[in-house]
Structure 1
């Protein structure tokens, strides 16, 4: 049984790690949003939540999800630019979902945020896997 679990982990390590750290990133995003949404408009709270969670996501994705080895400062800059660029794209999608869900459809802020995060996590995984950390062999 232990050998089977080890084989499954090795085979799906990238996806499983992303689910774990993506879940933690989502949790951070939702908690930060919930805190700041009490004091500021949802779109400002969402932006702050995005900033904090994206910093967490970059570090965890680089180290534990995609095992990214960037041997030069230039390589790190290219990877970071790509990561934050794609996350900026998903931020605009995130904000769009929040605006439509809350301001147009008058949905509950936290329920819209939860639905939004499911979509954003999936998009970010594809961006990371296909474009950002693509040379990592996972």
Structure 2
């Protein structure tokens, strides 16, 4: 797949992931009266599962659908999403507390960094095609 098409699909499905996160959160918190912390957690899980499936099948087109490979990819996906939370928080702390930047501007900058981090982690570490070993 072309790099441009891959990046467009990544951004489209990222937007849909965000929409799922917001809809699930709103449905639980506003619609059902669930505590915002639990609603946030459930919405995050739903969004991450959706993002994993769409990234695996449509964006990076991972060919190996065996249980072993899919489990490895899913664990790595979760690991890097949690790591990206640290990148997000670290960037926010650096920009707001250390550099005295505006909160909203800091969040925008942090989100750009996180999107790039997640894209490269997915492309080169999680869904990277394995090179077949050359036997002499």
TM above 0.5: yes
TM-score interval, smaller chain: 0.5 to 0.7
TM-score normalised to structure 1 length: 0.65
Please, what is the CA RMSD of the aligned residues?
A: 4.4
Q: SS at the partner of 1:37?
A: helix
Residue 92 of structure 1 deviates from its aligned partner by 6.1
The more displaced of 44-53 and 120-129 is: 120-129
| Match status 1:43 vs 2:45 | no
Partner of 1:104 in structure 2? none
Q: Given the superposition, is the C-alpha separation of residues 24 and 116 from structure 1 closer, same or farther in structure 2, using an over 3 Å criterion?
A: farther
* Higher helix content, 1 or 2: 1
The partner residue of 2:68 within 66, 74, 81 is 74
CA displacement at 1:115 relative to structure 2: 9.0
63-72 or 32-41: bigger deviation: 32-41
Count, aligned residues: 129
For 1:35-59, what per-residue CA distance to the aligned partner results, in whole angstroms no more than 9, with x for missing partners?
2232233322211111111111111
- Deviation digits for residues 10-67 of structure 1 (CA, Å, limit 9, x no counterpart): 3412111101111101111112122223223332221111111111111111110000
- Partner SS, residue 135 of structure 1: coil
Compare relative contact order (CA 8 Å, sep 6+) and give the higher one, 1 or 2: 1
Match of 1:130 in 2: 124
Contact 1:83–1:128 (CA under 8 A) maintained in structure 2: yes
Gaps spanning 5+ residues in structure 1: where? 1-8, 98-112
